[in-house]
Structure 1
Amino acid sequence: MTAMGTTTPSHLPVMYAQVLDALCIRPEGRYLDGTFGRGGHARGVLERLGEGGRLLLMDKDPDAIAVARDGLARDPRVALYRGSFADLAAWDATADGLDGVLFDLGVSSPQLDEARRGFSFGKDGPLDMRMDPDSGESAAAWLARADEAEIADVLWTYGEERMSRRIARAIVARRAEAPLGRTGELAELIAAIVGRRDNGLHPATRSFQAIRIHINRELADLEAGLAGAVSRLRVGGRLAVISFHSLEDRIVKQFINARAKAPPANRRMPAVETFVPSLRAIGGAQRADAAETRANPRARSAVLRVAERLEAAA
């Protein structure tokens, strides 16, 4: 979801060439980019489409939608929808079927760069973290009402933060004096507890990630989006998902495997209907090459998984 300003690797969206190859774009095909961001992948898809092709764009971030509206949405082959890819199957434009679906998960570089969005512990701003700032509860509002156990559970489950309980306890104690309303305040509080880490990560990295995932319901949306994508993919259509977090990648991997591989047989259980796969995994986990990871640090944690829709069971 990185902005596409030049053709250098650091300005191309993550795994740009691999994604376009994975989608096997046909000139007259219909494709959906569920995470438009700033349009890097989408522009690449559009360049490969002919006059009869169709590109559907989704994003719940109003800034991303504004970029799409001012740019690609002027093309008659493009349709635009503001909302989560979790709802893609409810969008009428997908009803005729799709030849490819792309999800580029997580927070985008422009979102991190804008202090007012509240995603970055390195840029002081309002403690928001909502990808759609017009919907749902902000991080500040959640931290002001959630009890200590809930906060600790979120930090551990979505951030694997080993000091989750201590951080949660400190947040509750701090808000009793004054509400946490700034990213800088939260980052400083966490850093005072966690201290310097051997891996070089900022002490607040895991906690900010966990809170963001929780606030935006990212994992639940991913599960719904994957199911919606498969329901709309035509036979031979491709699903391509880039994840940056082990929890996301695990969901994608398990989703594909559950539809591509028969479950192990159990001789003690009654016979069940013959398994008919609905997806075929295209290779395994793909990663950015050395040149891209050197030019773009964000690509180091990127994992691309690809699957192809098979003929539905009769």
Structure 2
Amino acid sequence: MSRVLNIRTNASPFTLILDDLNQRAIPLIGELVRRALSRNVNVVVVSFEATRFHPAVRNVSAYGDQSGDQILQDIRKAMDDAKESLVIVDSLYELSNTNNVDVGALLNLVAMEFASTLVGIYHQDMVPSQDAQNEYAPQPLELFKYTATTVITCKSFAHVLATKAAKQRSLAEPTHGLLQGAEGIVQCLDANDHRGIVLEAEFRRKSGRPESETYFLRTARQSDYHMPISGLPFGTLKQEFVTLLDQVPAYGNQEVIGLINAEANDIESTFNLGLTDKQKQAREGVVLPYFDAQKGEGGEGGRILYDMGAEDDFDEEEDEI
């Protein structure tokens, strides 16, 4: 993950980022841009939604009636004089459905011709359009997942904590946003947690074998970077602060346990699983069956003791057997 964030050569030629209204990819994209500019990497943003950019970022405006060929030409022009570039598309849905840009041609241009990195964002809460001419064609998202060398899914930290609390108590996982199925709800409470963002990453090796891991990227601080040198807008990174999710104290200890206890206290039950002191004393005074045989006072080992009654029929032949 550190190599992907720092735009290392051949770390991930095409990174697909999946987000939704409950957790936008803006914090992750901001960190990618900051680290790329700190290493003097040319950053090109193909914008369908964004309107504000850092002065060092080159913007290719794609909204409107521009054709796919014109967008590719603008990207090529923005990369011509740079040794290494980072190309970010802020809406792959618009790129493929509205402007009809061939993602394969875009990937060949960025990764093959210019040996650079392509990052694309796909909003999962966008309803895919149906192609009437070729209804058997795969959806664009499936093609993006197949082509990408790294797939990162963004999730809200608060929602991940709530999901873990439910699992600890063997409850159904909570749903958020559109998955709730509630009319009028598109974004849940605690969406876009300000503490950081959870990244579920899948890395595709050259052999085709995938490797998955979940990370936590907290909000960057000024102390995380060195002072910028002359000519660069940002200083280099001092120490990596993206960590595995399991190593985050809030995920493994206090906050999750607090959520579990809070939900357990709200449960109303018709019976009590605990015992009072009087009930414990009564339980200890109960004599269990065959207790004498267990202590060895009236039996031999585990032999069952039985006293015949007047109504019992004694059969000598069965007793001999």
Q: Which has the higher helix share?
A: 1
Same fold (TM over 0.5): no
Structure with higher Rg: it is 2
TM-score, normalising length from structure 2? 0.31
